[in-house]
Amino acid sequence: MTTIRVIGTNHERKLRAGQARKRRDNHYLLSVAVLLSAYFYVLYLVLFA
| Spatial distance between the Cα atoms of 48 and 6, rounded to a whole number of angstroms | 62
Q: How confident is the model at residue 45 (pLDDT cuts 50, 70, 90)?
A: very high
Looking at the predicted structure, is the pLDDT value of residue 1 above 60?
no
| Spatial distance between the Cα atoms of 29 and 23, rounded to a whole number of angstroms | 10
Looking at the predicted structure, is the pLDDT value of residue 2 above 70?
no
Higher pLDDT, 46 or 49: 46
Q: Give domain limits for the chain.
A: 1-49
Looking at the predicted structure, is the pLDDT value of residue 30 above 70?
yes
* pLDDT value of residue 29: 92
- The pTM (predicted TM-score) of the whole model is 0.53
